[in-house]
Amino acid sequence: MNSPTPSPGHGRLPIVAVLLVAVLAGLGLVIWQRTVDTSSVRPSTSAMALHTTLLYPEPRPVPDFQLDRADGSPLTQADLNGKWTLLFIGFTHCPDVCPTTLSTLAAALKQLDAEASTSVQILFVSVDPERDSPQRAGEYAAFFDPRIIAASADHARLEPFTRSLGLVYAKADDSENYGVDHSASISIISPDGRRFGLIRPPHEARKVAEDVRAVVATYGAGR
């Protein structure tokens, strides 16, 4: 994803105004993923008919990690246990892919039936700690749906965590109003804390909901 550089003074706008502008702008843009490690991902060999979701043939445990929640408490591997987690990385100054994807995830969550929705949680991780405090990331995520969990951390913790999920990010430039290139795929983590698969872009709420519903119904607590 190649993010346009925000105009000077952008960061001083109220966060709701920034988000509204970003969502409108994102609707007219083509989603592009700079790079992602899919070398070990293969289409599911099960009877499920999935849209853009690819499942790992041998899900591996997510390594231990600790990020910072919006309320200041730690987010660890234990917080992923018991629910299917849909994890997306991004940053609050993102003008296109981030607001579009979070809007899609929020809409998909609403489309899930009661049983599936209680088995799924959405996690947004900001990979721009210089500008995004955990609190700011939380405000940003809550704009789309208050149920979305938000977290961030310093790069020393973020980089190994994102790599372990097959996701990558990097500053696009060194200017004051820099962008961040990052993976546009959504990582699926199973209730037993395993890296289970990826939902590849482009994302549509209906298709995401159908894929998630199928995975939850087929695998339950994981495999």
pLDDT at residue 72 in the model: 94
pLDDT at residue 213 in the model: 93
In whole angstroms, give the CA distance from residue 89 to residue 116: 23
In whole angstroms, give the CA distance from residue 135 to residue 150: 8
Is 51 marked as a binding-site residue? no
Between the CA atoms of 18, 127, 103 and 96, what dihedral angle is there, to the nearest 10 degrees? 60
In whole angstroms, give the CA distance from residue 93 to residue 99: 10
Is 94 marked as a binding-site residue? yes
Peptide bond before residue 202 is cis, with ω within 30 degrees of 0 = yes
pLDDT at residue 220 in the model: 85
- pLDDT tens over the chain, length 223 residues: 444 444 444 444 455 544 444 444 333 333 334 334 444 444 444 557 899 999 999 999 999 999 999 999 999 999 999 999 999 999 999 999 999 999 999 999 999 877 777 899 999 999 999 999 999 999 999 999 999 999 999 999 999 999 999 999 999 988 888 999 999 999 999 999 999 999 999 999 999 999 999 999 899 866 6
pLDDT at residue 34 in the model: 39
At CB < 8 A and 24+ separation, what contacts does 107-115 make? Answer: 107/205, 108/205, 108/206, 108/208, 108/209, 108/212, 109/145, 109/147, 109/209, 110/145, 111/205, 111/206, 111/209, 112/209, 112/212, 112/213, 113/213
Q: Which domains does the chain have, with CATH numbers?
A: 10-219 (3.40.30.10)
